[in-house]
Amino acid sequence: MQETKITAKALRFWIKKKGLTQAALAERAGLAQNYISQIHTGTRPGSVDVLQKIAVALDLSLPEFFACRDDAQPDIVFIERLKARPRAGNGGLETDPDTAGYYSFHSSFIARKHGDETSMRLFEVAGDSMSPTLADGDMILVNLRDKDVRSGYIYLVRMEDELMVKRLENRPGGILLIRSDNPDYEDLSVRKNDEGADVEVLGRMVWSCREY
């Protein structure tokens, strides 16, 4: 698989750059040396959890682990995370527009999602209305340039003074259906050309991350 080759190449790159042996890395990561060797040779892909352990042992983030080039300069961009917490359920909502920090992503991934550091923003989801797709506390990456609604995709939406993460669908008659993946929540519908409907599509979710 191509992913296995990419992982093996990245591991070989960083072991050499950090001046480590496979045994030393295995000890740092709390993994069997044989496991490291299999990833190193490309015979085993390695799970996300294992790759995260390897990245931490190398003093890297996971995006930095894969962002390796022959000139030893990681090809990464830094995406702003905002303090605002879009609602995926009932309850309080933080709408603070200030920066909460920055996360690194491989530039090729951001380009593949048709964005850059000026159009991409990270948010932490609040609530459970998008469960099981999104859980409370999940991180999402939103392309603020991608506002044209395509049915079935998840978008960041502003309704009056609230931010929401919802799945949107275009319906006949200019109706926009605002849906939750959690069946315990009712769908909402608005007419797109209704000036009284204070709804704005801010961008499409292109990536999500969940911690365990």
pLDDT at 45: 81
pTM (whole model) above 0.75: no
Domains and CATH numbers, the chain: 2-60 (1.10.260.40), 77-209 (2.10.109.10)
116: left (phi over 0), alpha (psi -120 to 50) or beta: beta
Whether the predicted pLDDT of 189 surpasses 70: yes
Percent of the chain with pLDDT over 90: 46
- The pLDDT-based confidence of 7 (bands split at 50, 70, 90) is confident
Residue 42, classed as helix, strand or coil, is coil
Read off the pLDDT of each residue in 154-183 and give the average, rounded to a whole number.
91
pLDDT at 119: 93
Whether the predicted pLDDT of 173 surpasses 60: yes
Give 64-117 pLDDT, tens digit per residue.
887 765 544 557 788 988 888 887 654 334 445 678 788 888 888 898 899 988
Contact 176, 192 (CB under 8 A): yes
Q: What is the DSSP string of 96-108?
A: --SEEEEEEEEHH
Q: How confident is the prediction for the chain on average, in pLDDT?
A: 85
Residue 127, classed as helix, strand or coil, is coil
Contact 166, 179 (CB under 8 A): yes
pLDDT at 123: 93
Q: Distances from the Cα of 17 to the Cαs of 43, 50, 72, 123, 170, in angstroms?
A: 22, 20, 8, 33, 51
